[in-house]
Chain A
């Protein structure tokens, strides 16, 4: 409060000319639409509860959650820690950052509609739809991850839907193929020791997009950077957005994955874009085109000479 109080006060005194901003008590469901995509916030939790695009409606819950990283003492096997090389959580499903409803700010304009969600002072995100676009953008900001209790944390964005994905999900391939099919607890070329490390053995890299689908719908998430991804249960996706760990994993770096800047842990800020389409239709083509625009981000240059 000491650090932020004055800025909050300053912010509260500012009214935008265009668009309306007002805090909303988390007890009323609300639908946002731009005419192409609708999304609904759950009144109780303040979290995303559904998306609807072109007649396809999907129940979707999305929230930032965390794993506690496995501590270790740099030994080879039993006490090997989660670190730069390996994701090795203590528990096999992520914990919520907050049990309370997230606090919300709605920002509504003709061009953009946003919902600012605060899970904690170090974990926030913006849900956003633009005029003329069919995707829901989630801009997340995570960090500095708290480690004062002696535990490292690995933060994921967990998306839960009612898609019957049957243990499968598809990771993109930077345009080389349609995608790589991943099956839960399964490898094509060797027999997997089941339940050895149920969460981490199902994590895969994603560099462009990841999808789950059934006969009625396909949900794709475009990423703006390489991340870890998994689907630990049908209809679920988890994307790992940030990690801060306190022990070395003994694979050679010889340092814990504990990046600091300005004396505190690193803050990461990035974006996921959610596309809801019918499976195997032109909508999936739109997702592939969007992947390209996401990869080839425009370059912005500035001049204050105003010489057009």
Chain B
């Protein structure tokens, strides 16, 4: 309750007319950002617990196509919660990393019953790489439509099947965060 109350309190502050319209000094606006971020971080822990594990995390920078899990993991799960009362076909767009040396990105998405969900991999719009402060290495996005009933969640498993087929070295490279450019270059050469 304390975690949810933090967000509730911050949302109350966000309803001040200056916060709604942006008519505030920049340091005040920055403080609004800080508060809402803290509130979301707390509330997300509650959401993670309801999904059965605190290892579920949130990608706050998904709006600029940046997410560490989807970019660095060869296999991961996505839980999609629909807070509305109407069913929705929500387009899930996830930034992914593909080998710039020419390896085709190939992903498989399954629902919780193990059925394959139609998905496609596209290039990200090039302009996304112009966003200052974006540190993603994703060049592509994986797209699928998540059909979610009202007030429900569904879980999808995503697997990079190209990674399965090219052996342990590349699998490891995609699965774990590459620490520096030299290491990445070395792995690309070996690959």
Where the two chains meet, the residues of A that have a C-beta atom closer than 8 Å to any C-beta of B are: 4, 7-8, 10-11, 13-19, 21, 84-85, 105, 107, 109-112, 114, 116, 118, 121-122, 124, 126, 130-133, 139, 141, 144, 226, 251-255, 257, 259, 261-264, 267, 269, 289, 292-293, 295-308
Contact = CB atoms under 8 A, between A and B. Distances in A.
Nearest 10 A-B pairs (CB), nearest first?
A: A296-B84, A124-B127, A262-B132, A17-B104, A304-B73, A109-B120, A304-B76, A302-B69, A301-B79, A301-B56
Contacts of A226: 20
Interface in B54-95: 55-59, 62-64, 67, 69-70, 73, 75-86, 88-92
B128 A295 contact: no
A130 B122 contact: no
Contact of A111 (B23, B57, B82, B143): B143
A7 B70 CA distance: 20
A302 B77 contact: yes
Nearest to A83: B23
Interface stretch (B1-9, B144-152, B164-172): B144-152
B140 A14 contact: yes
A141 B64 CA distance: 10
21 contacts: A10-B100, A10-B139, A14-B123, A14-B140, A16-B105, A16-B140, A19-B122, A21-B122, A84-B24, A105-B123, A111-B144, A116-B125, A124-B125, A130-B91, A269-B64, A293-B86, A295-B84, A296-B83, A298-B83, A303-B57, A304-B73
A307 to B, nearest CB: 7
Nearest to B90: A298
A13 to B, nearest CB: 6
A11 B133 CA distance: 19
Contact of B121 (A16, A105, A254): A16
B24 A253 contact: yes
A130 to B, nearest CB: 6
A300 B78 contact: yes
A299 B80 contact: yes
Interface of B: 20-26, 29, 44, 47-48, 51, 53, 55-59, 62-64, 67, 69-70, 73, 75-86, 88-92, 98, 100-102, 104-106, 112, 118-123, 125-133, 139-140, 143-146, 148, 155, 157, 159
B52 to A, nearest CB: 8
Nearest to B59: A302
Contacts of A17: 104-106, 121
B127 A141 contact: yes
B interface secondary structure, majority: mixed
A11 B79 contact: no
Contacts of B91: 112, 130
Nearest to A260: B26
A11 B82 CA distance: 34
B154 to A, nearest CB: 10
A50 to B, nearest CB: 23
Contacts of B132: 144, 261-264, 267
B123 A303 contact: no
B93 to A, nearest CB: 9
A283 to B, nearest CB: 16
Nearest to A258: B26
A302 B128 contact: no
Given A292-B85, A299-B81, A308-B112, 14 more contacts: A11-B126, A17-B105, A21-B122, A109-B122, A118-B126, A121-B127, A259-B29, A262-B132, A267-B64, A298-B81, A298-B82, A300-B92, A305-B53, A306-B76
A17 B142 CA distance: 11
A32 B90 CA distance: 21
B126 A8 contact: yes
Contacts of B44: 301
B55 A305 contact: yes
A116 B123 CA distance: 10
Contacts of B106: 17
Nearest to A254: B25
Contacts of A21: 122-123
Contacts of B90: 293, 297-298
B73 A18 contact: no
Contacts of A7: 126, 129
Contact of B145 (A111, A114, A264): A111
